[in-house]
Chain A
């Protein structure tokens, strides 16, 4: 069945498109190439769209649609939903592809409902079978993978990063068609008033990093000398994160300790938690330290390609086919030495 595909993306603070938006553009192009007689348009939302449109002017889209203005600078459900609703209607799109970022994950399910369509979030890849789109996504917190298709249109697909390479092409001058949905005051009951970010030396979550370093509760437990060494653990972990520019993850047990009045690593929050009730980040490599490697924890490793672990216990969960390498060793010693070796 021929589809009309609409890429929906937001303009970054830089005025350009993010890597994940350009990956979603590659996905839109892949769909057009593999479903006969299909075509596609680009739709952008932001305060100013021109530079971002020019960035993708040569991508081969039929149309370059935009909703622009101060009301669209920040993510806000009511106005963003109205913008995308108008864009999908203008394009008469049957398939909407958008990057699965916090802005579109929040808004697009509601838009799909308004348009009497359907939505699938956290889509990891897709295939074309018999000329029809089939998407892949995980269920039960990344524990099983499903392939499915839908009869309803428009079908909104929020695509996770990492499936296709970001689109690269010459910039140019895109013929922008502006859509101006009417914003009523009732949509301005909410205002975005800022961003709360960790102070820069405590900035430990780096989605773009090559390596995910994961700390478990073992760092706070009594060590062979009968004592805990939390301040040392803190120094070692932060030292490693800074030297490697890696992203810091944590087990649930370790972040939960903070709520129980125990000494805990001061820079950790629930945002660092990976696993069944935490995040499932995407990184090329992962190094787990002092984590027991239990199932609800290792769910957070689903999208980590190469995995290594350090644990004192040779029988910990990691030994059961979850890591590529398990080093049975004292993480305090290994990380001390590693920090000395790394420049």
Chain B
């Protein structure tokens, strides 16, 4: 058997979290105002998926990591300048909307189709990774549908840890309610993982990795196939920002005792 894993990471780009966002209605549905002007980053949970993939690949000789990304290609290229510095991967780019208002079903169909065209894909070594939720749609449903389309029914979401056991099986920790994790064991690939935060810090920039990555990234962006997600059957009645700001009472110059008393009284009302 060929050693190592084939790790396919699905991840798109989202507006930098520090940007102010405003929705806008168009005949084709809602969009973000000046979306193409907003600085973008790789989706945070998908970034964790990518770092975890690279880490696993580095520990298992013969492994390879792909990043499959559906986004407007000009924006994707900008984001890749930064992401390329982090870990080695091969980009598979698709040129289309990265908007949160697209439908997960349509996005997943395109991603799954793309994954199936990766040459020499070997299910006995295949691990499909992604973020468990995006910072745009935030639905946590794209990856499951990608898995269904690829016939991968060993799926895990909200994963913080994946460890390979001596017998080649995987142990997986998935988030559940109340700060707990469910521990599962899966005997072998293929499997699909929607990553939460994981345990790895963001890798430091590595210019050598960056240069090696960029050689493949530029052609991949150039040949990105245009794709459409019409949002069939889905209609938005309204998209709006939260109503109003709160009227914040700013309490200065009150001694700590008085503040403590006030808070105790406020908490007391809770019971």
Give A residues with C-beta under 8 Å from B: 74-78, 81, 101-103, 105-107, 109-110, 112-114, 118-122, 129, 134, 138-152, 186-187, 189-198, 203-207, 210-211, 244, 256, 259-260, 269-273, 276-277, 284-285, 287, 294-296, 302, 306-308, 310, 314, 318-330, 333-334, 337-338, 341-342
Q: Is the CB of B233 within 8 A of A150?
A: yes
- Shortest A320–chain B CB gap in Å is 7
Scan residues 166-194 of chain B and give those whose CB is less than 8 A from a CB of chain A. Answer: 171, 173-188, 191
Q: Is the CB of B248 within 8 A of A318?
A: yes
Chain A residues within 8 Å of B21, by CB: 140, 143-144
Which DSSP category, helix, strand, loop or mixed, fits chain A's interface?
Answer: mixed
Q: Is the CB of B182 within 8 A of A322?
A: no
Say whether, besides A110-B145, A270-B196, A334 and B184 are in contact (CB < 8 Å): no
Q: Is the CB of A270 within 8 A of B160?
A: yes
Complex CA–CA separation, A256 to B145 (angstroms): 32
Give B residues with C-beta under 8 Å from A: 14-15, 17-18, 21, 23, 30, 32, 44-45, 100-101, 103-105, 108, 135-142, 144-145, 147-149, 153-158, 160, 171, 173-188, 191, 196-197, 201, 232-242, 244-254, 256-257, 259-264, 266-267, 270-271
Complex CA–CA separation, A109 to B248 (angstroms): 40
One of A114, A211, A320, A329 near B256 (C-beta < 8 A): A329
Complex CA–CA separation, A226 to B236 (angstroms): 54
Say whether, besides A150-B233, A270-B197, A295-B17, A109 and B104 are in contact (CB < 8 Å): yes
The 9 A-B residue pairs with the shortest CB-CB distance, nearest first, are A321-B245, A205-B179, A109-B141, A151-B233, A337-B260, A110-B144, A333-B256, A78-B153, A270-B197
Say whether, besides A107-B144, A334-B256, A326 and B250 are in contact (CB < 8 Å): yes
Chain A residues within 8 Å of B175, by CB: 102, 271
One of A148, A194, A205, A259 near B178 (C-beta < 8 A): A205
Chain B residues within 8 Å of A277, by CB: 17, 44-45, 135, 197
Chain B residues within 8 Å of A342, by CB: 264, 267
One of A112, A271, A302 near B179 (C-beta < 8 A): A271
- A sample of 10 more A-B contacts (CB under 8 A), given A121-B139, A207-B178, A329-B251, is A81-B153, A102-B174, A146-B101, A146-B238, A149-B237, A244-B267, A277-B197, A321-B244, A327-B262, A341-B264
One of A103, A110, A139 near B136 (C-beta < 8 A): A139
Say whether, besides A118-B234, A323-B248, A341-B260, A260 and B201 are in contact (CB < 8 Å): yes
One of A134, A189, A287, A296 near B237 (C-beta < 8 A): A134
Q: Is the CB of B183 within 8 A of A328?
A: no
Q: Is the CB of B179 within 8 A of A119?
A: no
Q: Is the CB of A189 within 8 A of B186?
A: yes
Say whether, besides A106-B155, A121-B140, A196-B180, A296 and B185 are in contact (CB < 8 Å): no
Q: Is the CB of A211 within 8 A of B251?
A: no
Complex CA–CA separation, A110 to B154 (angstroms): 12
One of A103, A105, A284, A329 near B270 (C-beta < 8 A): A284
One of A129, A196, A210 near B183 (C-beta < 8 A): A196
Q: Is the CB of B259 within 8 A of A77?
A: no
Complex CA–CA separation, A105 to B143 (angstroms): 12
Chain B residues within 8 Å of A140, by CB: 14-15, 21, 32, 100, 135-136, 138
One of B144, B153, B174, B270 near A113 (C-beta < 8 A): B144
One of A101, A109, A327 near B254 (C-beta < 8 A): A327
Chain A residues within 8 Å of B185, by CB: 190-191, 193
